[in-house]
Amino acid sequence: MFLTKADRLFVAYENSVYFDGDWAWRVNPFSITDPRLRDGDKTMSFALSTYLNSNFDYVVFSSVVVLGGKIREAILKDITAKNIQLLRSR
């Protein structure tokens, strides 16, 4: 069985949630530059804020789309949760 880094983090940490964000951008045909997909960015910010405010010790977020710096920063700036520590996998 193939496990991604996100899968391994989720399994390793108790009281965690794993949020696979790629479903929000699943359109056909797919283009990262499609301006309609920026609504998906807002969905990600809202969902991540909800998990971060739900007493999980760890929120593992995985998405190929957020490899794009502008998209990642747009999502992060709209997160409403306070006092979070962001760790990025390389």
37-67: pLDDT as tens digits: 888 888 889 999 999 999 999 999 988 888 7
Q: Taking the chain, what is the end-to-end CA distance rounded to the nearest angstrom?
A: 22
> What secondary structure letter does DSSP report for 82?
-
pLDDT of residue 90: 64
List the helix and strand counts (H, then E) for the chain.
Answer: 3, 2
- How far is the C-alpha of 60 from the C-alpha of 38, rounded, in Å? 21
Structure-block tokens of residue 76 = 């992060």
Domain boundary assignment for the chain: 5-77
Compute CA distances 58 → 2, 52, 69, 90, whole Å: 22, 8, 22, 18
List 61's β-bridge partners, or say none.
19
What digits encode the pLDDT tens for the residues 22-32?
877 788 998 88
pTM of the full structure: 0.80
